[in-house]
Amino acid sequence: MAQIDDPENTIVMELPAGTVTIALLPDVAPKHVERMKTLARAGAYDGVVFHRVIEGFMAQTGDVEHGKSDADNFNMRRAGTGGSDMPDLPAEFSKLPHDRGTIGAARSQNPNSANSQFFINFKDNHFLNGQYTVYGRVIEGMEHVDAITRGEPPANPDTMVSVKVAADA
């Protein structure tokens, strides 16, 4: 198990392949960190699919509106088009690069449109630097992220089984 220095700012994500531990970066992107913790504590991310997974690039998830695989109205074509019922977040760009394992805020063309969706970089994607907010990094379990089923959307998408703040576990 990874050494957790700050349980209040650590996310424990259960994937079908295993546990992924994410260190959040509140000093870099406090609004994005707070949003992820709020949604995790509400159970909003539990059961949400990875709707866009591109080999050699990233795995995107977090559509709490349309991405719950167990919802009565689940339709994979809609996954990735929604957010939460909270307002969009302003960009919190920093000098942190989009390296392998970093967590980035997904958004529309508007830099201030991030809400609940995020992506995990499979490799260094420095072309994203300064354009998408980095607010966390995988500190353990990246091999489980690497095992996520690919596709746009995947035919049989993987889900985040559960997402919790380590302090609450």
Domain boundaries along the sequence of the chain: 30-164
Distance, in Å, from the CA atom of 133 to the CA atom of 141, rounded to the nearest integer, reads 22
Distance, in Å, from the CA atom of 38 to the CA atom of 122, rounded to the nearest integer, reads 25
Element containing residue 138 per DSSP (H, E): strand 134-140
Average pLDDT, the chain: 92
Token pair in block for residue 77: 């074509």
Is CATH 3.40.50.720 the right assignment for the domain spanning 30-164? no
Tokens 């919802």, residue located: 71
**85-112 confidence digits (pLDDT tens):** 999 999 999 999 999 999 999 999 999 9
Q: How many residues would you count in the chain?
A: 169
**144-163 confidence digits (pLDDT tens):** 999 999 999 898 899 999 99
Token pair in block for residue 26: 């509140």
Q: Quick one: what percent of the chain has pLDDT higher than 70?
A: 92
Distance, in Å, from the CA atom of 115 to the CA atom of 134, rounded to the nearest integer, reads 13
Alpha carbons within 13 A on the beta-carbon side of 113: 9
Distance, in Å, from the CA atom of 49 to the CA atom of 86, rounded to the nearest integer, reads 20
Question: Does residue 68 carry a pLDDT above 60?
Answer: yes
Distance, in Å, from the CA atom of 47 to the CA atom of 15, rounded to the nearest integer, reads 10
For range 30-48, the mean pLDDT:
97
Is the entire prediction scored with pTM above 0.85? yes
pLDDT given for residue 66 in this prediction: 74
pLDDT given for residue 3 in this prediction: 74
Assign 65 a pLDDT band (cuts: 50, 70, 90).
Answer: confident
Distance, in Å, from the CA atom of 116 to the CA atom of 106, rounded to the nearest integer, reads 8
